[in-house]
Every structure is written in structure tokens, then in C-alpha cells.
Amino acid sequence: MTRTQASPVRSWTASTSVLSLRNVDVHRGEAHVLRDVSFEMPPNAVTALLGRNGAGKTTTLLAVVGLLAATGRMSMAGTDLKPLKVDERVRQGIGYVPEDREVFADLTVAENLRLAMRGPESQARLQQVHKLFPILHERAQQRAGTLSGGQQQMIAIARALLNDNKILLIDEPSKGLAPAVVTEVVQAIEQVKATTTILLVEQNLAVAARLADHALVLDQGRLVYSGPMEDFARDTEATSRWLGVDIRPKAVGGRGNE
């Protein structure tokens, strides 16, 4: 079965969805990067945002956070995001894990985490984060810039877990990491996914297939697929067409092949 047309997920309406984008357009300089993008995200599920390099995945996350200007409508759990500034949007309950981790290199690990803590519940969450990533506890007083890429990725994910967020936006958590570290990061996301809504950008189709329930696929700034992750991953014609991936996804760790 091939889906070349975007088929909006109809079972979730704007009112029940955690994140809703309607007719969103984004320009970056001269480039018209997102074109009329609309989607809804159901709660307590992982939605993978897929597409080739330059398709507009990172741009979509930046527009949601407010770091890029966008036209169209955007709301989170019923709250209109458009009039809010970046910090106000985030305080509404967004945990953002940027593409290149963007930890504060000169600050210690502990300071990086402290900066992300917003409310009284953060202290308790810090304990959970330390359980999830014990290395962040061991290296608390070390400068974050001296950590490995994988450890910095753990800081980036940890920052998003320190607050009671409505949604996590995670941009390519496996980028540039060794396979063993990828497995560790994937397991961490698996642990939190039952209780959180996650929009996950992931180049590694196997990782996406393992973590995601739903898939959104972008091609040159347009949404070309919206539906179950499983269906998309199984559709070799679609994956090769939209992602340039020919091989069928292999499961990462623990789970057998599809």
C-alpha cells in the first residue's frame, strides 16, 4: 500500500490533540521552508516527524517553540501559541531537545540542569532524571563542554524531563552517536513515552519505527504522509520515495524484525 497523499489523522480533533498546527507557513530568508502544514498530535503517544535532509523538520520544531516566525494557527492543549513569546510558550509545557543538543558548554552539568528547572516539582524530577542517566549525577560538577556527545545528549533530554511538560519536541536524538549510546538514548525515551506526548524527529528509520506510534512525513516543506508509523515503515515504496531509504527497518535492540 502506498500513500502519496497526505491523509490527516481524523480521529483526533483540535480540541483533544496536544499540539495542533493549521496551515502553517514558514519562510527563512528567501526560502519558503514550510508550506501549508497542518497536523494534530494525539496525547500520550510518540509521533515521528520524518523526511529527507532539508525537508523542514527542524524548522517545524523551531516554529512551534517560537524561535522562527510562522503564519497560520498553532495551539497546544487548546492554548493559542501564536501571541506567546518563546519563553512563555515553553512555560505552557514544552520540553525542547534541539538538534545539536545545545548544552551550555561553560556551565557545569548541575548548572545546565538547574537552569531548566522551572517549578517546585522539578526537584523531585531531578532525582528521576539522575536515575535515568546516572552519569549526570556522577559528573554533576564537570563542565558540560567536556562531556561526550552522548552524555551531552543526555543533558539535553534531561532538561526536557525536569518539568511537567505537555509535549516533548525531540530533534534527532541519535544524531552522531555510537550505536550503543543510541540504544541507551532510545531506552530512555521508551521509559518516558508512556506518560508523555512526544514529537520526535529521527533520521534513523529503525529508531523511529521502534519508538513512534504515528508518523508525519515532510517533503520539501509539505506534509505528504500522516498516519500509523507501522504502515509507513512497512511501505518500502513510500520510505524510499520520501526518505531515500531502501532497506526495511531493522529493529534496534530487544525487538525482532517486523
Ligand X SMILES: Nc1ncnc2c1ncn2[C@@H]1O[C@H](COP(=O)(O)OP(=O)(O)OP(=O)(O)O)[C@@H](O)[C@H]1O
List all residues 6 or more positions away from 58 whose beta carbon is below 8 Å from its beta carbon. 99, 171, 201
Contact partner, 96, from other proteins, ligand X, Mg ion, none, Cβ < 5-8 Å per class: other proteins
DSSP string covering 186-234: HHHHHHHHTTS-EEEE-S-HHHHHHH-SEEEEEETTEEEEEEEHHHHHH
Cβ 70 to other proteins shortest distance, Å: 15
Binding string, 84-113, against ligand X, x = CB under 6 A? Answer: ---------------x--------------
Cβ 250 to ligand X shortest distance, Å: 20
Closer of 54 and 254 to ligand X (Cβ): 54
b (16+ CB within 10 A) / e for 200-238: bbbbbbbbbbbbbebbbbbbebebbbbbebeebbebeeb
Radius of gyration of the chain measured on its C-alpha atoms: 18
Cα separation, 69 vs 88, whole angstroms:
15
Tallying the residues shown for the chain, one arrives at: 258
Q: Which of residues 94-153 bind other proteins (CB under 8 A)?
A: 94, 96, 98, 102, 104-107, 111, 114-116, 118
Among 6, 21, 33, 245, which residue sits at the site for ligand X (rule: CB under 6 A)? 33
Q: Decide if residue 51 touches ligand X (CB under 6 A).
A: yes
Helix or strand or coil: residue 16? Answer: coil
Contact 187, 252 (CB under 8 A): no
Cβ 154 to ligand X shortest distance, Å: 20
Contact segment (CB under 8 A) with other proteins among 24-32, 91-99, 201-209, 224-232 equals 91-99
Closer of 18 and 186 to other proteins (Cβ): 18
How many distinct helices (H) and strands (E) make up the chain? Answer: 10, 10
Binding string, 17-56, against other proteins, x = CB under 8 A? Answer: ----------------------------------------
Q: Which helix (H) or strand (E) holds 26?
A: strand 19-28
Chain positions contacting Mg ion, by CB under 5 A: 57-58, 99
Site residues for ligand X per CB under 6 A: 28-29, 31, 33, 51, 53-59, 99, 203
Site residues for other proteins per CB under 8 A: 65, 67, 85-87, 90-91, 94, 96, 98, 102, 104-107, 111, 114-116, 118, 159, 163
